[in-house]
């Protein structure tokens, strides 16, 4: 089938911290956007900044006349409501042959069911979660993990290419969401390890900035030390743009996958419990890099 190249029409649902810069990249690439968000302010702000985009009042309205639909929403349950089961769902506006791209971080088992339900209506689903955070969403260098059919990916590649630098077909439906959850488990574990190392090191009298510099020239180097060490944790800026609640949710998803497969993963189970408790203790709206503050709280309890 013909690739979805500009000026193809894309319905974009979800204009949050990640969705807005991703949608902006699509506009800049020449795609025609029909946008919807439950926050009408988010819609009006986006259209105000990008007059070529069309504001719509529902998922169904956004989907009408679109060649593809992108969802960038908090979780798979909300995606299913927006696409298939809620009031004025997108599926009622999409024409057969359209591609649905769920770029949210969703549960892969639920994604497999959604793919089957959409296939029964003549619609293809690509689960395509992203990694890289707001900064890489802004510059269009996201890593995109895709689950679904290879032919559908090739058709959608120009769309993904406007938002990401690395586009990887991970397997059939659900594979992208599974890999994203597991990637975030590794990311979260590395961040906790760095934060605990910094807490111990500072208590010993080491300079935290020096510690991060040494980590980054040694075997302890990781995304956390390179991207979040000095920038977010040592500076105490705590403004990476990804919420603690979302990291905790992604870890629960990874844990659910392991349970679904009847696999005992003690480290993963401990990480889920750690981040769930941190989410409660740090409070609503906390940035995930504030896990450092949670590590400090736990250290104080040992005193």
pLDDT digits (tens, 9 = 90+) for 147-171: 999 999 999 999 999 999 999 999 9
Percent of the chain predicted with pLDDT > 90: 94
Residue 1 has pLDDT above 70, yes or no: no
Residue 226: CB atoms within 10 A of its CB come to 13
Q: What does the domain layout of the chain look like in residue ranges?
A: 9-171, 178-301
> Which two structure tokens, joined as six digits, stand for 181?
């959850």
- Which residues are part of the catalytic machinery? 180
Residue 232 predicted with pLDDT over 80: yes
| Closest by Cα among 145, 193, 190, 189 to 171 | 145
Q: Is the pTM of this model over 0.85?
A: yes
Q: What is the pLDDT of residues 114-143, one digit of tens each?
A: 999 999 999 999 999 999 989 999 999 999
Class of domain 9-171 as given by CATH: alpha beta
Domains 9-171 and 178-301 share a fold: no
Task: 115-118: list long-range contacts, CB under 8 Å, 24+ apart.
Answer: 115/148, 115/173, 115/174, 116/173, 117/84, 118/83, 118/84, 118/91
Q: What is the CATH number of domain 178-301?
A: 1.10.1040.10
């Amino acid at each position: 089938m013909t690739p979805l190249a500009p000026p193809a029409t894309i319905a974009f649902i979800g204009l949050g911290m990640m969705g807005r810069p991703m949608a902006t990249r699509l506009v800049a690439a020449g795609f025609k956007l029909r946008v919807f968000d439950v926050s009408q302010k988010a819609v009006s702000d986006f259209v105000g900044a990008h007059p070529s985009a069309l504001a719509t009042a529902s998922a169904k309205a956004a989907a009408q006349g679109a060649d593809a639909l992108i969802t960038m929403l908090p979780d798979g349950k909300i995606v299913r409501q927006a696409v298939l089961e809620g009031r004025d769902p997108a599926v009622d506006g999409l024409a057969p042959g359209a591609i649905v791209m769920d770029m949210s971080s969703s549960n892969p088992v639920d994604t497999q069911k959604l793919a089957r339900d959409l296939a029964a209506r003549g619609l293809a689903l690509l689960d395509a979660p992203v990694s890289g955070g707001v900064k890489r969403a802004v510059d269009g260098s996201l890593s995109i993990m895709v689950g679904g059919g290879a032919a559908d990916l090739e058709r959608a590649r120009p769309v993904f290419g406007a938002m990401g630098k690395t586009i990887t077909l991970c397997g059939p439906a659900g594979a992208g969401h599974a890999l994203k959850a597991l990637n975030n488990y590794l990311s979260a574990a590395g961040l906790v390890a760095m934060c605990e190392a910094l807490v111990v090191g500072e208590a010993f009298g080491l300079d935290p900035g020096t510690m991060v510099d040494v980590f980054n020239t040694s075997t302890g180097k990781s995304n956390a030390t390179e991207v979040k060490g000095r920038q977010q944790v040592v500076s105490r800026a705590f403004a990476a743009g990804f919420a603690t609640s979302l990291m905790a949710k992604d870890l629960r998803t990874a844990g659910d996958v392991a349970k679904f497969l009847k696999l005992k993963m003690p480290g993963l189970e401990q990480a889920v419990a750690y981040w769930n408790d941190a989410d409660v203790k740090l409070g609503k709206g906390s940035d995930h890099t504030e896990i450092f503050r949670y590590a400090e709280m736990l250290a104080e309890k040992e005193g």
